[in-house]
Amino acid sequence: MAISGLVAEETDEADETDQVLDAVGPRLRALRKRRGLTLAEVSAATGTSESTLSRLESGGRRPTLELLLPLARLYGVPLDELVGAPRTGDPRIHLRPIHRHGMTFVPLSRRAGGVQAFKMLIPGRPEPAEPTPQSHDGYEWVYVLNGRLRLLVGDRDLVLTAGEAAEFDTALPHWLGTADGGPVETLVLFGPQGERAHVRARPAR
């Protein structure tokens, strides 16, 4: 699991932007039909020409903020829902999920450097995956929220359950996957330059 690649490449943002914009047209058409409106009625309500609305819905016209705001008001949906932006991370930012190696990473921080935070989702699968250990610079801390996580680090083969955590140097060959075929949900802290999470206080025994 090359989290270092997530930090370094910022998820091919141009391609992801194109995918988000391409999905706006079908979403606009579905919202209009769900509300039983014609293009003429939407045009009269928003001041946008029927031809522009038609091209927006078919993907022939790129959506802009100026075009989408009156449509969002008319359909009664938030703008981020109109463009399919997930409500994750800081609610004022809406960070996009990243899909890598069959897993989903939801960024929880936007720091330029230092420790990066992710929520990692591993889908369930009927057959166990073949481990493909990788190594890269950095240091990683993983906490299991739900499910059973199989973690390979060097020559160690571990199973972590909800509430358990592990930390390791990512220069060691490592791999994460589902231990029993069920989905797994984790929190990940990753220091690309080897930064670690430090516990400054512990509860009294």
Beta strand 139-146 pairing with 98-100: unpaired
Distance CA 52, CA 71 (A): 12
| pTM tops 0.75, yes or no | no
Distance CA 39, CA 48 (A): 10
Q: What's the pLDDT band for 11 if we cut at 50, 70, 90?
A: very low
The dihedral of CA 102, 108, 111, 115: what is its sign? negative
What does the block give as tokens for 103? Answer: 């897993």
More confident call, 127 vs 112: 127
- For helices 39-46 and 50-58, give the axis angle rounded to 10 degrees: 120
Q: Which of 188, 62, 183, 185 is nearest to 116 (CA)?
A: 188
Please tell me the least confidently modeled range out of 17-21, 22-26, 47-51, 152-156. 17-21
Do residues 48 and 102 make contact, with C-beta atoms less than 8 angstroms apart?
no
More confident call, 204 vs 134: 134
Please tell me the least confidently modeled range out of 19-28, 54-63, 70-79. 19-28
